[in-house]
Amino acid sequence: MTAPLLEIDRLSIGFKTDNGQAVTVVEDLSLTAAEGETICIVGESGSGKSVASQSIMRLLGENAFIQQGEIRFKGDNLLNKSEKELRRIRGKDIAIIFQEPMAALNPVFTVGHQLREAIKLHSKRKGREAKEYAIDLLRRVGISRPESIMNGYPHTLSGGMKQRAVIAMAIASKPQLLIADEPTTALDVTVQAQILQLLKRLQEGSGTTIVLITHDLGVVAEMADKVVVMYAGQIVEQADAESLFDRPLHPYTQGLMHAMPSLQKAAGANDERLLSIPGTVPALNRLPQGCRFHTRCAYTQECCKQSTPPLAAAGENRLVRCWLAVPPTGIEQNATAGGNAI
Amino acid sequence: MTTEVVNQESAHNAHHALPIARLDNVRTYYPIRRGVFSRTAGYVRAVDGVTLNIYPGETLGLVGESGCGKSSIGRTLLRLEDVHEGRIWFEQEEITHFSERRMKPLRTQMQLIFQDPYASLNPRQRVGELLAEPLRAHRLSVNAEIAAEVDRLLELVGLPRSSKDRFPHEFSGGQRQRIGIARALSVQPKLIVCDEPVSALDVSIQAQILNLLQDLQKELGLTYLFIAHGLGAVKYISTRIAVMYLGQIVELGDKNRLFDSPRHPYTKLLLDANPVSHPRLRVREKVVLDGEAPNPASPPRGCRFHTRCPYAQAKCREQEPQLDGSIHAAACHYPLW
């Protein structure tokens, strides 16, 4: 069997804070993505989902450091690559798009110029050929008048059009892995639907693997094959999309699902109160002892306050980090192993 | 005006009271200035002929894509924008041309809650001071009572009393929104315009704030104009819903009827664009609303939606449809039902 396209193996990432301390923002994260798969990483702000995704491209700031683990792309550990080697991978084999498209667009160059740059950098196309390919790409991302967009500057485009232009740039080199960090969060639902449909179509055409980072369970329901739920820097649940929505196992996942006001709920059910999760996500430098969710959980028991539950198998292809789903008796050793990693 | 209100009234059997606020054919235009002499080169027609009643105790949800004018309606109602045309009533009194001095006592009656409470809270004031300020400005409490009133407000929005000695930056987004709500409540308003109050918050926190707004409404008998682009939140909290497109209301009705069987093609497509709630409900070839809304400075002739409408016919390109007067009203020549 060949190695999966992307393997993140027990990755921990720390941030140095101003007062010289270090906080772990992503802890012991493992996940694999096969070719053509869409993996969604869901979580609230501060869950570590964006840091995890940016680490794949080694885009983390100066104050971040890898504490342990490997990120293997086609079997190669990206963490051992030199900056020069990385530059060859970035944008070519792995592309990333952000919530804010202006993060990827230079305001002083036309869209066409930037798109041609991206094309020239990663392929042999030059001059006229590059221009034609650029127009073709814009058409593929659903821009109806690509010639006029080519000559326009980014600020003349709407948010949805900018995001399309960024996607065009990202797919220019036919990447095998596309990381999308909240790509539709800043957009209207109508434009979000267009962009999500576009990503699906592009994937069907090219077999690109997508790692999609989002806080929106609706986006997950639309897009995901596999789902990773993160809370306070850790994976708390991992499952294929249908099983997760059928039966969320972790109280946090359950809470998120209940808290989501849905259009498809029955009219009567709508008059009930939304079940909210009390409190807020704890600060990473003030994490509670034991299970990180125990301060907000409705099912907290004594063991939850004492020791961190391990991410343990719960049925076929499912993992969950909760003492309720995987009772502490008999797996004490795993618990201590998980606890030591802090 | 009275007969008009009464007519509308009979259409809304559910509402026996007179509207607490009313917009009558209101147009709010923003000038586009060009050249060295800043001459007016045209207008962005943010609100373009909107008639709307808000009844006491209800939550009227206002939805639409960004730039459709929904925030402008809220600001116009509160007299924070000047109207180009039309009239505004608050509690049976026309306030369209009230001076700032005459508006001041009314400002305690109508309040605004913003999307980003941080932008509306002075970072150098402690929370206690932030809450006391409106009480002093409007002379609502004598000094001796202010401290007790601040405590009561904090308790009302579910914040500990110790919060008053802290600064806004020490709070999380959800807690800051609670402070924003407490500040709006401090002057004991009747009507609150909530402009995207939960859009910037995490999902688990959104539910807390929506529940809080609902509890406060019950407890204090508040009326809300709830502006949002997140359809789920709007459906959850609203009594009636108005759908806006390019400065106009295209559909208005009871929330369950509107969500279950929309009449306007735009409403239908807007609802369809919302993500599914379970992977098994995915639609393979989903009909997606194409393109984006045209420029509100030069809206299309005829029905404004005809450029994107899958059912547009010749009449739609020529003649502007009006909102019919029914309980579940739609502005469409060929409604879905």
Contact status, residue B246 vs residue B294, Cβ threshold 8 Å? yes
Higher pLDDT, A212 or B230: A212
**Cβ-count burial B193-219 (b if 16+ within 10 Å, e if not):** bbbbbbebbbbbbbbbbbbbbbebbee
Residue B7 confidence (pLDDT) above 50: no
Return the axis-axis angle of helices A251-259 and B203-220, rounded to nearest 10°.
50
Q: Say what the pLDDT of residue A333 is.
A: 42
Radius of gyration of chain A (CA): 21
**Amino acid, single-letter form, for residue B96:** T
> How many angstroms separate the CA atoms of B329 and B337, rounded?
11
Q: What percent of chain B has pLDDT over 70?
A: 95
**B235: which chain A residues are within 8 Å (Cβ-Cβ)?**
261, 263, 270
Tell me the pLDDT tens digit for each residue of A270-328: 456 788 888 888 888 889 999 999 999 999 999 999 999 999 999 888 999 999 988 87
Mean pLDDT of A26-41: 95
> Mean pLDDT in chain B?
91
> How many angstroms separate the CA atoms of A320 and A248, rounded?
10
Task: Please give the helix or strand (H or E) that residue A111 lies within, else none.
Answer: helix A111-122
Contact status, residue B61 vs residue B4, Cβ threshold 8 Å? no
Mutate to test the interface with B, among A189, A203, A254 (most CBs of B within 10 A): A189
Mean pLDDT of B45-74: 95
CB atoms within 10 A of CB A58: 16
Q: Say what the pLDDT of residue B139 is.
A: 85
Q: Say what the pLDDT of residue A144 is.
A: 81
Contact assignment for A196 to B275 by CB distance below 8 Å:
yes
**A270: which chain B residues are within 8 Å (Cβ-Cβ)?**
235-236, 256
> How many angstroms separate the CA atoms of B13 and A91, rounded?
60
Contact status, residue A255 vs residue A275, Cβ threshold 8 Å? yes
Q: Say what the pLDDT of residue B83 is.
A: 94
Q: Does A241 touch chain B (CB under 8 A)?
A: yes
* Partner B, chain A 158-187, Cβ-Cβ below 8 Å: 158-161
Q: What percent of chain A has pLDDT over 90?
A: 63
**A245: which chain B residues are within 8 Å (Cβ-Cβ)?**
277-280
- Here the tokens at position A7 are 């393997």
Mean pLDDT of B326-336: 95
Shortest CA distance from A144: residue in chain B: B291
DSSP one-letter code for A102 = G
Residue A175 confidence (pLDDT) above 90: yes
Contact status, residue A221 vs residue B279, Cβ threshold 8 Å? yes
Task: Please give the helix or strand (H or E) that residue A123 lies within, else none.
Answer: none
**Amino acid, single-letter form, for residue B75:** R
Q: Say what the pLDDT of residue B90 is.
A: 96
**A144: which chain B residues are within 8 Å (Cβ-Cβ)?**
291
Give the CA dihedral B72, B76, B80, B84, nearest 10 degrees: 100
Residue B320 confidence (pLDDT) above 90: yes
Beta strands in chain A (DSSP E): 6-16, 22-33, 38-42, 64-73, 76-77, 94-97, 177-181, 209-214, 226-231, 234-240, 312-313, 319-320
Q: Say what the pLDDT of residue A264 is.
A: 64
Contact status, residue A110 vs residue A118, Cβ threshold 8 Å? no
**B198: which chain A residues are within 8 Å (Cβ-Cβ)?**
none
Mutate to test the interface with A, among B208, B238, B277 (most CBs of A within 10 A): B277
Q: Say what the pLDDT of residue A272 is.
A: 67
CB atoms within 10 A of CB A18: 6
Mean pLDDT of B131-140: 91
Residue-range domain boundaries for chain B:
2-109+190-330, 121-188
Tell me the pLDDT tens digit for each residue of B235-287: 999 999 999 999 999 999 999 999 999 999 999 999 999 999 999 999 877 78
Higher pLDDT, A164 or B230: A164
* Partner B, chain A 190-229, Cβ-Cβ below 8 Å: 190-194, 196-197, 215-219, 221-222, 224
> How many angstroms separate the CA atoms of A77 and A70, rounded?
6
Residue A219 C-alpha, separation from nearest chain B C-alpha, in angstroms: 6
Give the model's confidence band at B189: pLDDT under 50 very low, under 70 low, under 90 confident, else very high: very high
**A261: which chain B residues are within 8 Å (Cβ-Cβ)?**
206-207, 210, 230, 232-233, 235-236
Range of A46-60, B136-150, B176-190 with top mean pLDDT:
B176-190
B2-109+190-330: CATH topology is Rossmann fold (3.40.50)
Give the model's confidence band at B15: pLDDT under 50 very low, under 70 low, under 90 confident, else very high: low
Higher pLDDT, B4 or A273: A273
**Quick one: which of B51, B11, B55 has its CA closest to B326?**
B11
Q: Does A156 touch chain B (CB under 8 A)?
A: no
- Residues B272, A217, A161: CA angle, nearest 5 degrees: 60
Q: Say what the pLDDT of residue A342 is.
A: 33
> How many angstroms separate the CA atoms of B114 and B194, rounded?
6
**A194: which chain B residues are within 8 Å (Cβ-Cβ)?**
288-290
Residue-range domain boundaries for chain A:
100-172, 250-278+293-340
Contact assignment for B211 to A256 by CB distance below 8 Å:
no
Contact assignment for B233 to A196 by CB distance below 8 Å:
no
Shortest CA distance from A217: residue in chain B: B277
Mean pLDDT of B301-312: 94
Tell me the pLDDT tens digit for each residue of B190-224: 999 999 999 888 888 899 999 999 999 999 999 99
Shortest CA distance from B308: residue in chain A: A190
Q: Say what the pLDDT of residue A283 is.
A: 86
Contact assignment for B269 to A190 by CB distance below 8 Å:
yes
Residue B298 C-alpha, separation from nearest chain A C-alpha, in angstroms: 16
Q: Say what the pLDDT of residue A251 is.
A: 96
Name the residue facing A263 among B259, B282, B286 (closest C-beta): B259
Question: Residues with Cβ < 8 Å from A149, sequence gap 6 or more?
Answer: A111, A112, A138, A143, A157, A161, A165
Residue A269 confidence (pLDDT) above 70: no
Instruction: Write down the H helix ranges in chain B.
Output: 2-11, 70-77, 100-107, 117-120, 127-137, 143-156, 173-185, 203-220, 231-237, 255-260, 265-273, 314-318
The alpha carbon of residue B213 and the mean position of all alpha carbons in its chain are separated, in whole angstroms, by 14
Q: Say what the pLDDT of residue B1 is.
A: 42
**A50: which chain B residues are within 8 Å (Cβ-Cβ)?**
none
Please report the sign of the dihedral spanned by the C-alpha atoms of residue B311, residue B316, residue B322, residue B324. negative
B60 has which bridge partners? B225, B240
Q: Does A256 touch chain B (CB under 8 A)?
A: yes
Q: Does A236 touch chain B (CB under 8 A)?
A: no
Q: Say what the pLDDT of residue A328 is.
A: 73
Residue B3 confidence (pLDDT) above 80: no
Residue B69 C-alpha, separation from nearest chain A C-alpha, in angstroms: 14
Radius of gyration of chain B (CA): 21
Question: Residues with Cβ < 8 Å from A12, sequence gap 6 or more?
Answer: A24, A26, A27, A28, A29, A66, A67, A68, A69, A341
Residue A257 confidence (pLDDT) above 50: yes
Residue A190 confidence (pLDDT) above 60: yes
Q: Say what the pLDDT of residue A2 is.
A: 67
Residue B207 C-alpha, separation from nearest chain A C-alpha, in angstroms: 5
Q: Say what the pLDDT of residue A209 is.
A: 97
Residue A215 confidence (pLDDT) above 50: yes
Tell me the pLDDT tens digit for each residue of A97-139: 988 888 889 999 999 999 999 999 888 888 899 999 999 999 8
Q: What percent of chain B has pLDDT over 90?
A: 75
**B66: which chain A residues are within 8 Å (Cβ-Cβ)?**
159, 188
Give the CA dihedral A94, A85, A63, B176, nearest 10 degrees: -10
Name the residue facing B203 among A188, A256, A267 (closest C-beta): A256
Residue B271 C-alpha, separation from nearest chain A C-alpha, in angstroms: 8
The complex's ipTM works out to 0.85
Q: Say what the pLDDT of residue A143 is.
A: 86
Give the model's confidence band at A1: pLDDT under 50 very low, under 70 low, under 90 confident, else very high: low
CB atoms within 10 A of CB B41: 11
